[in-house]
Amino acid sequence: MIIVTGGAGFVGSNIVKALNRRGEKEILVVDDLTDGTKFANLADLSIADYIDKDAFIGGIVRGQDPARRVRAILHQGACTDTTEWDGRLMMRENFEYSKVLLHYCVERHVPFIYASSASVYGAGPVFAEAPENERPLNVYGYSKLLFDQFVRRAIQEADSQIVGLRYFNVYGPREAHKGGMASVAWHFSRQVEQDGEARLFEGSDGYAAGEQQRDFVYVDDVAAVNLHFMDHPGQSGIYNVGTGASQTFNDVARAVIARHGRGEIRYIPFPEHLAGHYQSYTQADVGALRQAGYREAFRTVEEGVRAYLDELGQG
């Protein structure tokens, strides 16, 4: 059995889809369906079982195995709202929960592959997997960094696989439930559909309007990296998952407009509440990922946005 936590969420459900494409159906999805709209992310997928997150973690704490034979845990479940400032919530969901799963896997020699985040790097300017580059700008980023630091110590003692994947700006199908936390590609597409315009922030941190740069990575590529490490259980470490090439928000908007065949860009004031807490530039250093044997190409924004909107039937 392969366990995917957060399996009804954005990245988690795309990992389940990627597993299904390989013929894998012995999949246990763990999630919290308080937001019942997330069911849509699972409706077209094949899984063996579903367990509520609280029941799952409670059972593990009591020493109960969630399945007869666990092949791997792909841990995608987390509080991913970067605007959330409830530190107790963040530590419970992103740190304590993850530690319990890590201990479970290490004790039973089960491969453990989990989602970290590029938010650990804060404003950069260097986005390579080293402590001197890690300065998060919000408590979400700190919760992810704290677990990465915990993992760095655990890897030295463990004799089973532990892999942390620092996702950069992921976009793609099955993210609609995220609302305000959905990707700019999703927001721009909705805006163009409804209003004929994509709304981008004016300049910030020395960048011209819409010229803030991020490393935008398509979700199918993220799922492929997860499966690569599942296929190579001898490989452990913390790795960036991005394209290695930043592109501007203007690039994303133009790609969306090109796919729709209509629309224009309008710039809006930069939100005051994001000042000092916003990554105006990210670009993954993927050297460690390549050294770990991952050779597949990543989609550009233009390629990814087209694939995304084609799957949504938009444009």
- Residue 245, SS3 per DSSP: coil
Measured over the CA atoms of residue 192, residue 196, residue 201 and residue 206, the dihedral's sign is positive
DSSP characters over 52-81: EHHHHHHHHHTT--SSSS--EEEE------
- Give backbone dihedrals phi and psi of 122, rounded to 5 degrees, phi first: 60, -135
| Catalytic residue numbers, as ranges | 140, 178
Within 10 angstroms of residue 206's Cβ, the number of other Cβ atoms is 9
* Residue with token string 């990554």: 279
Alpha-carbon distance of 294 to 302, in angstroms, equals 22
Place of tokens 């941190």: 205
What's the CA gap between 158 and 236, in Å, rounded? 10
Is residue 259 within 8 Å of 306, Cβ to Cβ? yes
Full DSSP string of 260-290: HT--EEEEEPPPGGGTTS--SB-----HHHH
Look at residues 47, 57, 104 and name the one whose alpha carbon lies nearest to residue 78.
57
CA distance 64 to 58: 9
